[in-house]
Chain A
């Protein structure tokens, strides 16, 4: 059974700092990995999706890397801003199925960026 772990569970940083969020998964047979952002009481916003054949994806100040063989992904946020405060979720899709994607989620990292 796939298990996804995110470290740290919570993180508080001053504005402007670069930071790294970590995600690890137990079964390396994944199809892709997705990073989401969730604001309090709201739904999920997809940030980046990395296919299993890719090493990294970038969007603006965000960079996500994937090391499938070691079961790890990192989300790098450059020059953090108070608006980045949210919970960041990592989810892996298991490979092989064609009828919809089954995502396994981590518990998330709650990020607070202080002005």
Chain B
């Protein structure tokens, strides 16, 4: 396990449900990321937060709503999802200002939308 934790690890939800994914990093990093990994596709960057400010929204539908209350916590609020949103959602963190800016990933949340 890394210094990045994600809960829940598995989530099944209907299209009318509202749920939230949580990510927490214990590495003292100041940037956090949400990625989506669908079957047979490369990881897709969804959102980037730097010092709690959203610096990138990669054309993500509004049914995905991120929240970053502080540099250690990142949420992804989900509502009225579609079956094609079923995927592994990965959170990552890094230290901006460090020349390496290496990203460390959490274990992911496996989401199934019925």
Question: Which residues of A come within 8 Å of B, CB atoms?
Answer: 4, 31-32, 34, 36, 41-46, 49, 51, 89, 91, 93, 98-108
Question: Which residues of B come within 8 Å of A, CB atoms?
Answer: 2, 4, 6, 31, 33, 40-43, 45, 48-50, 55-56, 88, 90, 92, 94, 96-97, 99-108, 110
- For B55, the chain A residues whose CB sits under 8 A away are 99-100
Complex Cα spacing A31 to B102, Å: 11
A89 touches which of B43, B50, B94 (Cβ 8 Å): B43
15 A-B contacts (beta carbon < 8 Å): A41-B88, A42-B108, A43-B106, A43-B107, A45-B105, A49-B100, A99-B31, A100-B33, A100-B49, A100-B94, A101-B31, A101-B96, A103-B45, A105-B43, A108-B42
- For A98, the chain B residues whose CB sits under 8 A away are 96-97
- For A99, the chain B residues whose CB sits under 8 A away are 31, 48, 50, 55, 96
Complex Cα spacing A105 to B43, Å: 6
Q: Is the CB of B105 within 8 A of A44?
A: yes
Q: Is the CB of B110 within 8 A of A101?
A: no
A102 touches which of B2, B45, B49, B110 (Cβ 8 Å): B45
Q: Is the CB of B42 within 8 A of A106?
A: yes
Q: Is the CB of B102 within 8 A of A43?
A: no
